[in-house]
Structure 1
Amino acid sequence: MNTTSHDPAPTGSRVLRGPFRPGDKVQLTDPRGRLNTIVLAPGDQFHTHKGWIEHDDLLGRPAGVTVHSTAGVEFQAMRPGYEDFVLSMPRGAAVIYPKDAALITTMGDVFPGSVVVEAGVGSGALTLALLRAVGDHGRVLSFERRQEFADIASGNIADFFGSPHPAWSCTVGDLAEELPRALEAGEADRVVLDMLAPWECVDVAADALTAGGMLIVYVATASQLSRTAEAVRSTNRFAEPRALESMVRDWHLEGLAVRPEHRMIGHTGFLLFARRMDEGVEPLERSRRPQGSTPDEEDLDAWFEPEITESAIGQRTAPPKRLRKLGRAAGSRARVEAAQDGAATDEAATEGAVTGEAVPQEEVTDDTRED
């Protein structure tokens, strides 16, 4: 018998086990496969054109049960997995999809107890995966230029784990200015850059990384990828970078009718991985650089024209009014739990590790998503 003692239950495990409780997110699936994500609260109802469902009919029951609406339609009730949560949570900007987050944490070798720097927290989708990977004894230091995004991410993290995560902190400001103040040189095991111009932060990332640490960059376009790779090489502080992308395709399974689904998640972004050399040690030179791969002046001009903006690369950010609404929507679990404790205050709902003033919270509406 194994008598090895273990740490108490890690952050987030409580909300993934046991019966449904107030504040839990529940994913309801109808007979046609349509998904609806709701936040349980005593006395509330989920309304649909197929009747409504009392939240009280789910509270206290285990995941994996079915419940009938007032119109007699049967719904399947499950806790949302990581993928479901990310695709249904309040989002103010484009997120790093689960397929890319999986590659970042696995091929980026993010290990328990590691120190990870994340630049560009967005709505917190990647942050959730990083926090799971580093565990309670690691550290994820996020840097975000916009307070609105930091507030949304803080609420989503508290919803996902059931409380603010002890390993997470978020600084609102510019990475190049704030990172040297937050972390000693050589203290980071991994640095993840998710920004429009990551080549501007390669040097500060190299300063923060320990020898053998890894720089991970997520970009949307090939021109961003090319410019970032050349910036990494030009420092002479990283081994040869590796670039890849992932594509995921579901399959239709029904008897002998087994075929690819008509829709798939194709290109979402490129990932670049580069290992940090020890200080003062130059990387091995490539034995042969393919002819024509060295950029000339015209190629360099193409990097700067047109200007790299969110609209230029096909990304969209919600307008300010929408961002404020999303900030109020994130953190719904804390509000419901606080209401159950008789202390439903805005301060309790937005408590977290974000540097800066949080946006006040309000009641969240049911979030509906259809595959």
Structure 2
Amino acid sequence: MPLKEGDTVVIWIDPKRIYLVRLEKGKKFGSDKGSIDLSQLEGLEYGSSITLSTGSKAYLLKPTPLDAYNGLRRPSQVLYPKDISYMIYVSGIKEGDKVVEAGTGSGFLTISLAYVVGDKGKVITYDIREDMQEVAKRNISFMGLQSRVDFKIKDIREGIDETDVDAIFLDMPDPWKTIPHAYSSLKPSGSILIFVPTVNQVEKSVLQMRQFDFVDIHAEELIVREYQVKENATRPKNIGVVHTGFIIRARKSIKGS
């Protein structure tokens, strides 16, 4: 489908130069490798190559949630793609599901959740900071996912308004204080996913989960190591994303069953 004004596109020049832009008349894209009038991209398709003002070649790619890390504002610490992708996979959420999240932060987990639940699903995201949610709203709107997300300024530790929820994702300092509300809000067998940075938080969260009849409880961490590939010189890169935090996952059982 041809690109049109208002579409979001990734301009990929090389692995170190990846830019997320929106096509707007009168706007120009610029980098150290050259520039181009964004209106010139209208009518092209995702996957097309373009030539910048310096003669450098670039490619137009369809944005994915991963591209949000390169082009969106993130004033707060955000979850890494390796953790987000695993949490979504083990949660079992799918198109049409209802998902609750806290806290919103810069909206990077929110974007990934909205991407998965589709137009028929809904992500309800809680935060106590209105200024952070304003940042998240702009980021989510830039990705074209605003219709899939409801924002709430509320301390989720005081309760979750939604019921019959398919999954709950918690990225907050004291998630164990939300577990009683999470149990009430989840569907039977619904998933709870928690991300925390310390083992003390893991212990408190897991012990509280056991008190509320959660089962299939796991505490994990993920390590990713990328390789640089060169003929006769393929080896791990010197810099990588190793420990970022701990993921706790579990599912709701029915009390007394």
TM value normalised by structure 2: 0.90
- 1:76 is matched with 59
Equivalent of residue 146 in structure 2, options 159, 164, 187: 164
Decide whether the 8 Å contact of 2:115 with 2:145 is kept in 1: no
More strand per residue: 2
SS at match of 2:115: helix
Quote the Cα distance in structure 2 between the aligned partners of 1:33 and 1:195.
31
Instruction: Report the Cα offset of residue 253 of structure 1.
Output: 2.2
Q: 1:211 and 1:67, CA in 2 relative to 1: closer, same or farther beyond 3 A? A: closer
- 1:246 aligned to 222, 227, 244, which one? 222
How many residues in Structure 1 have an aligned counterpart in Structure 2? Answer: 257
Give the Cα–Cα distance (whole angstroms) in 1 for the partners of residues 116 and 172 of structure 2.
Answer: 22
Letter in 2 for 1:176: R
CA distance in 1, matches of 2:218, 2:9: 39
1:123-162 equivalences under 5 Å are 123-160=106-143, 162=144
Contact 1:31 1:74 in 2 (8 A): no
CA-CA distance at 1:87 after TM superposition: 3.6
Q: Secondary structure at the match of 2:19?
A: strand
The sequence identity of aligned pairs, in percent, is: 29
Among 213, 227, 230, the alignment partner of 1:237 is: 213
- Whether 1:63 and 2:63 are equivalent positions in the alignment is no
Tell me which residue corresponds to 1:259: 235
| 1:151-230 alignment runs, 5 A limit | 151-160=134-143, 162=144, 164-165=146-147, 167-179=148-160, 182-184=161-163, 187-230=164-207
Deviation at 1:109, TM superposition (A): 1.1
Partner SS state of residue 116, structure 2: helix
Structure 2: give runs of 5+ residues left out of the alignment: none
Separation (CA, whole Å) in 1 of partners of 2:14 and 2:135: 32
AA in 1 matched with 2:62: R
For residues 118 and 163 of structure 1, do their structure 2 counterparts lie closer, same or farther at Cα, with a shift above 3 Å needed?
closer
Which of 45-54 and 240-249 deviates more? 45-54
Displacement, 1:171? 0.9
Cα distance, 1:29 vs. partner? 3.2
> What are the ranges of 5 or more consecutive residues in structure 1 without an aligned counterpart?
1-17, 282-371
**Residue identity in the other structure for 1:251:** Y
Contact 2:183 2:212 in 1 (8 A): no
| Paired AA for residue 150 in structure 2 | S
Instruction: Read off the aligned partner of 2:21 and give its amino acid letter.
Output: I
1:95 has 2:78 as partner: yes
State the shift of 1:31 in Å. Answer: 5.5
- Structure 2 residue matching 1:118: 3-state secondary structure: strand
**Which range moved further: 210-219 or 28-37?**
28-37
Tell me the alpha carbon deviations over residues 245-288 of structure 1, each in whole angstroms, 9 at most, x when there is no partner.
1122222223343222222221122110112120234xxxxxxx
| Normalised TM-score (structure 1) | 0.64
AA partner of residue 120 (structure 1): G
Answer whether contact 1:37 1:88 (CA < 8 A) is retained.
Answer: yes
Q: Which residue type is aligned with residue 121 of structure 2?
A: G
Tell me the distance in 2 between the aligned counterparts of 1:68 and 1:240. Answer: 52
- Relative distance call for 1:112 and 1:24 in structure 2 (3 A) is closer
The structure-2 alpha-carbon separation of the partners of 1:54 and 1:197, relative to structure 1 and needing over 3 Å to count, comes to: same
CA shift for structure 1 position 227 = 1.7
Asked if residue 269 in structure 1 is aligned to residue 248 in structure 2, the reply is no
Aligned CA distance change for structure 1 residues 189 and 55 (closer, same or farther; 3 Å): closer
Give the AA of the match of 1:39.
R
Against the structure 1 CA distance between its residues 59 and 112, is the aligned structure 2 distance closer, same or farther, given a 3 Å change threshold?
closer
Q: Secondary structure at the match of 1:143?
A: strand
Distance 1:240 1:73, change over 3 A: closer
Cα RMSD for the two superposed structures: 2.1
Query: In terms of Rg, which structure is larger?
Result: 1
C-alpha distance in structure 1 between counterparts of 2:220 and 2:122, whole Å:
26
Distance 2:10 2:120 in 1: 30
Kindly provide the CA deviation profile for residues 58-94 of structure 1, in whole angstroms up to 9, marking residues without a partner as x.
2221122332232322223323322112342111211
Q: CA deviation at 1:219?
A: 0.7
Aligned pair partner of 1:107 in 80, 90, 95? 90
Determine helix, strand or coil for the equivalent of 2:178. Answer: helix
- SS of the residue 1:84 aligns to: helix
